[in-house]
Amino acid sequence: MSDTFRIAVLPGDGIGKEVMPEGLKVLQAVERVTGSFHLETDEFLWGSDYYIQHGRMMPPDALKILADYDAIYFGAIGLPGVIPDHITLWEFVLPIRQSFDQYINYRPSKLLPGIHSPLRGKGAQDIDFVVIRENTEGEYSGAGGRTHLHTGQEVAIQTSIFTRFAVERVMRYAFELARKRRQKLTSATKSNACQYSMVFWDEVFEALKPDYPDVRTEKWHIDALAARLVTCPETLDVVVASNLFGDILSDLGGAIQGSLGLVASANLNPERQYPSLFEPVHGSAPDIMGKGIANPIAMIWAGAMLLDFLGQAEAASLVMRGIEATVVQGETLTPDLGGSAKTSQVGRAICEQIERS
């Protein structure tokens, strides 16, 4: 008897509405092929269009509605030039992450065979690491304020918050992941300049190391680590970072994969007390929305991560093999990867690879 999972589908804005159908199409294909699970999906049309009509990004009871699902499959959010980005973030993205305690942001950076990285001389064997980002506090805690608005004495204060509880749990997750991969963990810090928050971060990291004697560790200042991602990514396995530093590093990791259209992300509540959220990281991309050329691979890859988190490892592996086979074949790629295929054509090609398997 197959397992049944309830999935909340949030296409969102821009190209999110275009890549989401392809992600669902692939999930349905692998469901048919494996027969090991069944997804019950409900779509919620929240986001910028909802904001224009109602003055808010989602209804007041949205979080209560989403809490009943096993996972959330999310496209993209944002309408720059119409709705300020800070409203999009603080009225949609961060309430979901913080309310559902999705304290792990998991972003793999893996160069697929057949894709050329912008880094000269680097191949698929050189780019394969994961950034684990603390996802609920740090620099994105929302603590601060402004006073003396619109005067010469205006003041803006943004305060980072680091708690031992949150820092320790994200680091333990990263240590455990490193154990399952290549037994190496790199901590992103800036303790030479941030003498309180990052010194504290370093101290927690040092305190945990004896619990994981099988994991090799190192710490790098964020500026040097960003350069290292570009010069020698092959030296990295798992990177653990604060909210801001992890955000920057994971986008840089996506860029060296060859295209942000390939980069998937998971916002996890590992204890499964609340639903976790799976998404591409490319954003709403209003410059190409409506053209039918958005790359759906990141959306589909996020679907594989969703399946893996739900315990469907075989199905997740099948999706990834479908992605890799399509990319290696090289005949059905969107313009960001040097091809001329449409979004729907890539989704169909991946489904065909899965069905052949």
Q: Does domain 116-256 have CATH number 3.40.50.2020?
A: no
Number of neighbouring beta carbons within 10 Å of residue 182: 14
Domain ranges of the chain: 1-106+260-357, 116-256
pLDDT digits (tens, 9 = 90+) for 179-215: 999 999 999 999 999 999 999 999 999 999 999 999 9
Rounded to 5°, the CA angle 200-206-209 comes to: 145
Reduced to 3 states, what is the DSSP secondary structure of residue 292?
coil
Q: What is the reported pTM?
A: 0.93
Q: Check residue 242 and give its pLDDT.
A: 97
Pick the closest to residue 124 from 247, 9, 256, 222 (CA basis): 256
pLDDT band at 86 (very low <50, low <70, confident <90, very high): confident
Helices (H), the chain: 16-34, 48-54, 62-66, 85-88, 94-99, 164-180, 197-208, 222-231, 243-256, 297-309, 313-329, 343-356
**CA gap 73, 187 in Å, rounded:** 29
> Do residues 268 and 102 make contact, with C-beta atoms less than 8 angstroms apart?
yes
Reduced to 3 states, what is the DSSP secondary structure of residue 265?
strand
Helices (H), 4-146: 16-34, 48-54, 62-66, 85-88, 94-99
> Do residues 104 and 135 make contact, with C-beta atoms less than 8 angstroms apart?
yes
Q: If you search the block for the tokens 């060296």, which residue do you land on? A: 256
- Checking if the pLDDT of 80 tops 90, the result is no
Q: Check residue 1 and give its pLDDT.
A: 58
pLDDT digits (tens, 9 = 90+) for 296-333: 999 999 999 999 999 999 999 999 999 999 999 999 99
The CATH fold assigned to 1-106+260-357 is Isopropylmalate Dehydrogenase (3.40.718)
pLDDT band at 90 (very low <50, low <70, confident <90, very high): confident
The CA-atom distances, in angstroms, between 58 and each of 52, 73, 100, 124, 135 are: 11, 16, 16, 40, 21
